[in-house]
């Protein structure tokens, strides 16, 4: 069905429904006051000048997200599904199938992007043609992520946060909900789970020296271990956490362009570090005075681990659905291909039909008789958050609670 664009004369500030409570706004003000009064030597970061809401109560500026959605051999269908579930005209997307996938798979993905009218019209989805070899435990994953960030910094100008997802991730909220809640947040906040307490990871992650063959081979293989061990660094402090992050554009510009030498120094250090995606961004954030007070200690994912935890989290199924929803997290992982719980998420949370883009306020088509509501689209600033956004709001309020927010930063 041909998709039609309907122009709108709506003011760009009229897209937001007044659904959010005053709690998030009040919380931001409290944070600004508490930060400015803190006597901590690292408390020079304040958010009072960065709150995107003016004192007259006007609606905040709509943010934008830049996504990296990555996969490997056999993940074309899953990547398309994740893209459809998180798509919004306001955002940007980089799709990456690693070198283990065939050229025909990358071509299939690129053809889909060109054949889907909405994606073609808004021109906000990019497919990496020259794929990177990615070794799960090696630094090639960080290299691939930074490659995607560099593409976004060059090709996409208007975005505020970067989000990395894999083919086994899935959203739990519509993009309208995510855009709505993040509209009320300072644009400086970096969401990444982090700690300096390594525990068992000190001897299994920090001290071993590894070599990733993916740096010089064209075939994926496991990493090599050196016989020697190394001591913990003295010139900076190591942090570790989840590899799934929501990072600000200014911070990533710092990592890629590096006017300070810290990002490059740490990138070289993590070249020989096991599972470097679990530590690189976290260590950069927490070792630089301009960013250490911008961290929010959460990866915004619902993840279920075995007890004791294994190398990978358990696959989420229908039995986890209620817990996922109540967590308030906007994303979850990991899911097996075509697990029935994905259909339930589509139906109950995203209102997404099979093989279609999840609808939002920008979709103005008539959904009667099974028609695609996004076959006709209007103002891309038209955001209609659902009542489910309250759960995400509750999570954000908890994370930014004035009494605990500071104590969980870079500790």
Is the per-residue pLDDT at 33 higher than 60?
Answer: no
Query: Residue 24: its pLDDT value, please?
Result: 47
Angle at which helix 249-257 crosses helix 140-155, to 10 degrees, equals: 110
- Kindly report which listed range (138-147, 169-178, 374-383) carries the lowest average pLDDT score: 374-383
* Tokens 């989840």 -> residue: 242
To the nearest 10°, the Cα dihedral for 126, 92, 351, 304? 90
Residues 6+ apart with CB under 8 A from 244: 164, 165, 169, 299, 300, 301, 331, 333
* Domains of the chain: total: 1
Q: Which two structure tokens, joined as six digits, stand for 59?
A: 């609606």
Is the per-residue pLDDT at 12 higher than 50?
Answer: no
Query: Residue 34: its pLDDT value, please?
Result: 44
Confidence of residue 44 (pLDDT cuts 50, 70, 90): very low
Check: CB of residue 135 under 8 Å from CB of residue 214.
Answer: yes
Provide the mean pLDDT of the chain: 85
What proportions of the chain, in percent to the nearest 5, are helix, strand and coil? Answer: 35, 15, 50
| Domain hosting residue 376, numbered range | 4-408
Check: CB of residue 323 under 8 Å from CB of residue 314.
Answer: no
| Kind and range of the H or E run holding 376 | strand 376-377
Is the per-residue pLDDT at 56 higher than 60?
Answer: no
CA neighbor of 50 nearest in space, from 250, 281, 228, 263: 250
Tens digit of each residue's pLDDT (9 = 90 or more) over 60-107: 889 999 999 999 999 999 999 999 999 999 999 999 999 999 999 999
Confidence of residue 59 (pLDDT cuts 50, 70, 90): confident
């Amino acid at each position: 069905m041909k998709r039609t664009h309907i122009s709108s004369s709506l003011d760009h500030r009229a897209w937001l429904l007044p659904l959010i409570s005053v709690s998030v706004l009040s919380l931001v003000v409290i944070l600004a006051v508490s930060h400015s009064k803190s006597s901590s030597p690292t408390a020079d970061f304040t958010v009072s000048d960065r709150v995107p809401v003016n004192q007259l109560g006007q609606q905040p500026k709509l943010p934008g997200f830049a996504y990296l959605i990555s996969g490997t051999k056999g993940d074309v269908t899953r990547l398309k599904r994740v893209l459809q579930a998180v798509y919004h005209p306001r955002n940007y997307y980089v799709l990456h199938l690693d070198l283990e996938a065939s050229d025909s798979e990358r071509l299939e993905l690129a053809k889909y992007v060109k054949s889907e009218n909405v994606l073609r019209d808004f021109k906000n989805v990019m497919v990496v043609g020259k794929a990177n070899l990615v070794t799960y435990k090696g630094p090639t994953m960080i290299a691939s992520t930074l490659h995607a960030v560099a593409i976004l910094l060059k090709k996409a100008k208007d975005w505020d946060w970067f989000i990395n997802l894999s083919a086994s991730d899935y959203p739990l909220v519509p993009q309208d909900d995510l855009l709505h809640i993040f509209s009320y947040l300072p644009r400086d906040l970096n969401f990444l789970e982090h700690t300096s307490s390594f525990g068992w990871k000190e001897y299994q992650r920090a001290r071993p020296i590894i070599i990733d063959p993916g740096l010089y081979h064209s075939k994926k293989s496991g990493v090599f271990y050196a016989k020697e061990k190394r001591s913990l660094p003295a010139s900076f402090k190591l942090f570790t956490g989840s590899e799934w992050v929501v990072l600000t554009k200014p911070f990533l510009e710092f990592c890629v362009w590096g006017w300070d030498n810290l990002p490059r120094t740490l990138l070289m250090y993590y070249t020989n570090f096991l599972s470097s995606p679990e530590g690189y961004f976290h260590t950069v954030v927490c070792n630089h005075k301009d960013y250490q007070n911008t961290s929010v200690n959460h990866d915004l994912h619902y993840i279920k681990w075995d007890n004791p935890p294994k190398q990978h989290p358990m696959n989420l199924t229908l039995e986890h659905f209620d817990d996922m929803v109540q967590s308030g997290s906007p994303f979850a992982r990991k899911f097996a291909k075509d697990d029935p719980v994905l259909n339930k998420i589509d139906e109950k949370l995203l209102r997404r039909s099979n093989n279609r883009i999840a609808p939002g306020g920008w979709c103005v088509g008539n959904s009667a008789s099974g028609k695609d509501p996004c076959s006709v689209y209007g103002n891309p600033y038209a955001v209609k958050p659902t009542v489910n956004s309250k759960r995400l709001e509750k999570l954000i309020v908890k994370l930014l609670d004035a009494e605990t927010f500071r104590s969980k930063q870079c500790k």
